[in-house]
């Protein structure tokens, strides 16, 4: 039996090229017996589709507080989503999203859910190496860890920037 069996995981996907890997991550979580809810930032939809992630997770994908085009739209309650979770993983976590997390900025559903979390939060930074090594990013990593979040360090590998 997997350590993830029966766990409720919120996967937060921010808008970087590494978002394409999130589909495989969802698949692996489901295979391990976890329940998965996905929250996408608006920018992440440029890299991977909600349809792919909802198909793999077997759950609707959340990306906004509610659908303005649907007069019968249900509000996606960030507090309820956060309370449902046994853990939150933000992967990929872009420099932009990490900065907003540090500063308590809640301009999207993922960030509001993060600030409502009572469960462990993990973040996996994904950005160009120069961005990763920048003093602002390093400070943000430190701040987030000091808040009790767990960082999953970037592995070496091919970057979109070459």
- Classify strands 8-13 and 35-40 as parallel, antiparallel or unpaired: parallel
- Classify strands 121-125 and 87-93 as parallel, antiparallel or unpaired: parallel
What is the C-alpha to C-alpha distance for residues 110 and 2, in angstroms, rounded to an integer?
A: 27
- Asked, for residue 119, whether it belongs to a domain, the answer is yes
**Model pLDDT, residue 142:** 98
- Asked, for residue 40, whether it belongs to a domain, the answer is yes
- Asked, for residue 151, whether it belongs to a domain, the answer is no
Q: Is the peptide bond before 26 cis (omega within 30 degrees of 0)?
A: no
111: helix, coil or strand?
Answer: helix
- Asked, for residue 149, whether it belongs to a domain, the answer is no
Instruction: Look at the chain and report how many structural domains it folds into.
Output: 1
pLDDT (tens digit per residue) in 111-137: 999 999 999 999 999 999 999 999 999
**Model pLDDT, residue 157:** 57
- Asked, for residue 2, whether it belongs to a domain, the answer is no
Return the structure tokens found at 137. Answer: 């990013």
What is the C-alpha to C-alpha distance for residues 114 and 126, in angstroms, rounded to an integer?
A: 18
- Asked, for residue 54, whether it belongs to a domain, the answer is yes
- CATH code of the domain covering residue 73: 3.40.50.1950
- Asked, for residue 101, whether it belongs to a domain, the answer is yes
Grade residue 155 by pLDDT with cuts at 50, 70 and 90: confident
**Range of lowest pLDDT (18-22, 56-60, 130-134, 156-160):** 156-160
Domain that holds residue 85: 8-143
- Cβ of 69: how many Cβ atoms within 10 Å? 6
- Asked, for residue 113, whether it belongs to a domain, the answer is yes
Sheet holding 35-40, edge to edge: 35-40, 8-13, 87-93, 121-125, 150-151
What is the C-alpha to C-alpha distance for residues 4 and 112, in angstroms, rounded to an integer?
A: 25
């Amino acid at each position: 039996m997997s350590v993830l069996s029966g766990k409720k995981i919120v996967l937060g996907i921010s808008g970087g090229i590494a978002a394409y890997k999130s589909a495989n991550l969802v698949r692996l979580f489901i295979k391990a017996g976890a329940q998965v809810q996905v929250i996408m930032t608006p920018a992440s939809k440029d890299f991977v589709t909600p349809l792919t992630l909802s198909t793999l997770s077997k759950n609707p994908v959340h990306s906004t507080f509610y659908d303005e085009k649907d007069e019968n739209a249900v509000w996606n309650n960030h507090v309820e989503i956060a309370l449902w979770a046994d853990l939150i993983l933000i992967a990929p976590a872009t420099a932009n999203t990490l900065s907003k997390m540090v500063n308590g900025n809640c301009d999207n559903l993922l960030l509001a859910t993060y600030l409502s979390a009572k469960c462990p939060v993990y973040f996996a930074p994904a950005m160009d190496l120069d961005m990763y090594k920048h003093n602002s990013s390093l400070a943000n990593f430190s701040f987030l860890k000091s808040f009790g979040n767990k960082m999953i360090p970037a592995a070496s590998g091919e970057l979109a920037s070459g």
